[in-house]
Amino acid sequence: MTHAAPPRTVVLGAGAWGTALAIAGARLGATRVSLWARDPAQAIAIDRQRENQRYLPGLALPEGLCVASGEAAPLLAEADLVIVATPMAALRGWLQELRGLAVPVAWLCKGFERAASADQAGLLGHEIAAAVAPDLPTGVLSGPSFAQEVARGQPTALVAASARADVREALVNAFHGPTLRIYANDDVAGVEVGGAVKNVLAIATGLCDGLNLGLNARAALITRGLAEMTRLGLALGARAETFMGLSGLGDLVLTATGDLSRNRQVGRLLAKGQTLEQAVASLGHVAEGVYSARTVSQRAQRLGVDMPITDAVVALLEGRLRPDEAVAALMGRDPKAEGL
Ligand SMILES: NC(=O)c1ccc[n+]([C@@H]2O[C@H](COP(=O)([O-])OP(=O)(O)OC[C@H]3O[C@@H](n4cnc5c(N)ncnc54)[C@H](O)[C@@H]3O)[C@@H](O)[C@H]2O)c1
Ligand SMILES: O=P(O)(O)OC[C@H](O)CO
């Protein structure tokens, strides 16, 4: 009797998160997982060392995890599920390349794309997909998840968001297991707004902690940050309850308080007096909040949504305010009623 081979998952992008999720999927074994790296030399090194020493050092690749590079088309032709695990800036290019596929495609990136020009709005992933690949079955995998912990098999819960049930199911089938719970949600806008805005707020809390403003201040930033994230989400068609979930409150708490966060580290380094260029260069990984902050603020302004913490982060990143001035600006706002 012949057995059908398990489905194939292809992960495009071998940074920290792509590698970690590929490890988790391969360890689970529900699908055969291939990790595709843009740089052939990096792919050879990862395969030879069975470890991604550049982006995820100290974590061994499971035996069954294939590493690939070069022409992606043959690999994609065999895929049953494709994961785009690049920074936000590369998502549009991959969606354009993938648009003829009939299998589910999900991205892991959290952010808004930078606007191409001043008169255009920067887009979320699902908005880019609607513009360049409307027929592609797409979704997003998000939620509180430091790559290192997922790769180590530490308990983690994620959310698979898509308007399509088959995409949500494909993500659950490929990754849900004893150490990784995958919840499903059809509120794609809510899940994406949560993932993008929490990065900006983590820069704010990193700065707050770097300046030793205290635990009260950090709790206030997280709580009022959640309020402004929710306001933007509602204006973009999301449901309020999504912001009480994994990609809202969950990822905000993790990223705003966890020292593994690159966005939080940017805030801490700025508080120490580093320039933005120095802070970003010292990370060696993408910190999406740096690139999304201005777009979040612009989209909010266009929608008439008040986002004072985000605006303060943008002013800091652009050098228009010093940290002490940003704190004074936030604390000096007029009294208002609590709530959204
Ligand atoms: N690291 C985490 O813990 C984590 C967790 C959840 C979500 N994310 C999100 O996932 C995304 C990627 O983060 P990361 O931590 O893996 O970043 P990273 O900086 O560790 O790695 C980014 C990788 O993307 C690759 N890349 C860039 N452009 C590419 C392209 N056009 N095609 C293929 N590969 C390309 C780079 O070579 C690099 O390997 C970000 O949006 C981040 O917010 C990260
Ligand atoms: O390191 P950060 O700040 O990009 O955060 C990583 C993940 O998004 C946390 O869920």
Per-residue pLDDT reduced to its tens digit, 184-213: 999 999 999 999 999 999 999 999 999 999
Here the tokens at position 113 are: 């794309």
CA atoms within 13 A on the CB side of 231: 21
Whether residue 253 has pLDDT greater than 90:
yes
What's at 318, amino acid-wise?
Answer: E
Band of pLDDT at residue 117, cut at 50, 70 and 90:
confident
Comma-separated ranges of CATH 3.40.50.720 domains in the chain: 8-186
DSSP tag of 287 = -
Q: Which superfamily does CATH assign the domain made up of 190-332 to?
A: N-(1-d-carboxylethyl)-l-norvaline Dehydrogenase; domain 2 (1.10.1040.10)
Longest CA pairwise span in the chain (Å): 74
- Closest C-alpha among 79, 56, 80, 57 to residue 68: 79
Q: Is the CB of 17 under 6 A from ligand 1?
A: yes
Q: Which atom of ligand 1 is nearest to the CA of 146?
A: 3
d(CA 313, CA 309): 6
Is 198 annotated in the active site?
yes
55 labelled binding-site residue? yes
C-alpha of residue 12 to centroid of ligand 1, in Å: 10
Q: What is the predicted pLDDT for the residue at 1?
A: 57
pLDDT at site 5:
85
CB neighbours of residue 43 within 10 Å:
19
Is 110 annotated in a binding site? The answer is: yes
Query: Which of the listed residues 140, 199, 257 should we mutate to test ligand 2's pocket, taking the one with most ligand atoms within 8 A of CB?
Result: 199
Residue 262 Cβ inside 6 Å of ligand 2? The answer reads yes
Residue of minimum CA distance from atom 24 in ligand 1: 86
- What is the C-alpha to C-alpha distance for residues 320 and 289, in angstroms, rounded to an integer? 17
Above 70 in pLDDT, residue 183?
yes
- Selection from 103, 98, 144 nearest residue 7 by Cα: 103
144 lines ligand 2 (CB under 6 A): yes
Q: Say yes or no: CB of residue 263 within 6 Å of ligand 2.
A: yes
* Residues of each domain in the chain carrying CATH 1.10.1040.10: 190-332
CATH topology of domain 8-186: Rossmann fold (3.40.50)
**What values do phi and psi take at 72, rounded to 5?**
-85, -20
Give pLDDT, residue 2.
60
pLDDT for 32-79, tens place per residue? 999 999 999 999 999 999 999 999 999 999 999 999 999 999 999 999
The C-alpha angle 165, 20, 160, rounded to 5 degrees, equals 15
Q: Distance between CA atoms of 202 and 269, rounded to whole angstroms?
A: 12
pLDDT for the residue numbered 121: 86
Contacts of 90 (CB under 8 A, 6+ apart): 13, 84, 109
Give the global pTM. 0.97
pLDDT value of residue 174: 98
| Cβ atoms of 83 and 106 closer than 8 Å | yes
Alpha carbons within 13 A on the beta-carbon side of 235 = 17
CB 247 within 8 A of CB 241: no
Nearest CA to 81 out of 62, 101, 55, 99 is that of 101
Question: In which band, very low, low, confident or very high, does the pLDDT at 115 lie, cut at 50, 70 and 90?
Answer: confident
CA 115 to chain centre: 18
Q: Which ligand is nearest to the CA of 247?
A: 2
**138 in helix, strand or coil?**
strand
What is the 8-class DSSP label of residue 135?
Answer: T
**Percentage of the chain modeled with pLDDT above 70:** 99
CA 136 to ligand 1 centroid distance, Å: 22
Please state the atom number of ligand 2 nearest to the C-alpha of residue 288: 4
* Order of all β-strands in the sheet with 81-84: 66-68, 32-36, 8-12, 81-84, 105-107, 138-142, 156-161, 180-185
**Mean pLDDT score of the chain:** 97
Positive or negative torsion for Cα 241, 309, 156, 164: positive
